[in-house]
Every structure is written in C-alpha cells, then in structure tokens.
Amino acid sequence: MTSDVVENEFEFYSKAEKYWKDVPATVDGMLGGYGHISSIDINSSRKFLQRFLRDGPNRTGTTRALDCGAGIGRITKRLLLPLFKTVDMVDVTEDFLTKAKSYLGEEGRRVRNYFCCGLQDFSPEPNSYDVIWIQWVIGHLTDNHLSDFLKRCRAGLRPNGIVVIKDNMAQEGVIMDDVDSSVCRDLDVVRKIIRRAGLHLLAEERQENFPDEIYHVYTFAMR
C-alpha cells in the first residue's frame, strides 16, 4: 500500500510537480529518455483499444476521449485524435499543455479542453467520455486518491464507455521512486484498487517488445 511508502502526502505531490517542471517538453522527456519506444507503445494501445470500438451491441463510442496525465499530447496526437471526434487533456504541468498546442498541429483544433490540474483534484464531467485513458501517471497518486479518481472516472463515462489504465507494474508490493516521487504497484494491488473503485475489469494485457531493463507494462480496460 502507498501508505507504507509515502510518509508525507503533501511532499509526495509537491516533489512530483517540481520534478516534472524540470523535464523537457519533448516526447523523449515524456518517456524518461525512452522516446524510441513511443511507436511500439502507440501501436499496441491502438490494437487494444480497437477491440472495444468495433461494431457490436456494446460498442464503445468514438465521440469524446479524455487523456489523463497527457503531458505534451503524445497519446492525444497519435492514439486518440485519429479515433475520436474530440479529446480533452489534463496534466499538472502547465508548460506541457502550452507546448501541446503547437505539438498537436492542425488536428489540435479538436482538443476541446486543456485542464491544468493534478488527477487527485480532477473530476471528469459526468456522462461525457467514451474513453478515459490514464497512462504512466497512476504512480503519482496515493491508493486512496487513485481509487477516488477512478470512481469519478466511472461517473464520467458515457454508455458503453471504458476507463483504460496503462502503466508500469512492480514484481511484488509497492516500490517508491524518490527521483520523480512516484510509486510502482504490483498487479494484485492495482486490481484491488480497481475493484475498490467499483469498476469491473474487461481486459488485461501485458505490453510486448519493450526494453528488458524497464518495468513490465500492463494495460487494463474497465467500466
């Protein structure tokens, strides 16, 4: 549990904000020096997501998506804007959202809102999103804040909408990273938090073809 490794909640959040303020507003900066894996990541995410967007009685819509921890808009640009009519972005670092406006180019006109906010304080508009995409950011929330945020995401979904988490998974327990002030949880801990938020797991997949030296990355779809 994060309560075992996060001694001071205020410090945990403020240290993370300070860390990201010093990170370059580039794809490489967003990916901690692993910019070269971006295409592998996006292609896998697209395949994962498209299984829910296919025709069928419970098909997830393609009207509006929310990119959480969006940074400069790497996922918005390459994954969400090609599939959804409009996208909203939320990130705690204002400089990243400012950069997004040029990085996204012409298609960026379909980004309706740029919310500058930490996810612990953010509430998606109820009944508004077909997909809420949360990637490489849950480690910046305590367990209680993550569970509460996921509950608000659940309320933010349109009919047949899904919440997707894609993130690093520890082998066992919860590991603290003092450099960027984040935690990495194991699969069991993440599944428990998802259940606690009242969400039902629809699919779970391990990312393939990532470098051996980084954490295993998993994608979860839920509603």
Instruction: Confirm whether residue 74 is marked as ligand binding.
Output: yes
DSSP three-state, residue 18: helix
Give the number of domains in the chain.
1
Instruction: Confirm whether residue 171 is marked as ligand binding.
Output: no
pLDDT, one tens digit per residue, over 100-117 is: 999 999 999 999 999 999
Task: Give the residue numbers spanning the domain of 91.
Answer: 2-222
Question: Which percentage of the chain shows pLDDT scores above 90?
Answer: 95
Answer yes or no: are the C-beta atoms of 39 and 212 closer than 8 Å. Answer: no
Position 56 scores a pLDDT of 82
Instruction: Confirm whether residue 173 is marked as ligand binding.
Output: no
Position 57 scores a pLDDT of 85
Position 26 scores a pLDDT of 97
Instruction: Confirm whether residue 50 is marked as ligand binding.
Output: no
Position 201 scores a pLDDT of 97
Q: How far, in whole angstroms, is CA 47 from its chain's centroid?
A: 17
Position 2 scores a pLDDT of 80
Position 1 scores a pLDDT of 80
Print pLDDT tens along the chain (223 aa). 887 889 999 999 999 999 999 999 999 999 999 999 999 999 999 999 999 998 788 899 999 999 999 999 999 999 999 999 999 999 999 999 999 999 999 999 999 999 999 999 999 999 999 999 999 999 999 999 999 999 999 999 999 999 999 999 999 999 999 999 999 999 999 999 999 999 999 999 999 999 999 999 999 999 9
Position 181 scores a pLDDT of 97
Position 36 scores a pLDDT of 95
In sequence order, which residues have a C-beta less than 8 Å from that of residue 149 and are 6 or more positions away? Answer: 119, 120, 122, 141
CATH number at residue 186: 3.40.50.150
Instruction: Confirm whether residue 119 is marked as ligand binding.
Output: yes
Instruction: Confirm whether residue 69 is marked as ligand binding.
Output: yes
Q: 73-86 burial by CB neighbour count: b if 16+ within 10 A, else e?
A: bbbbbbbbbeebeb
Instruction: Confirm whether residue 63 is marked as ligand binding.
Output: no
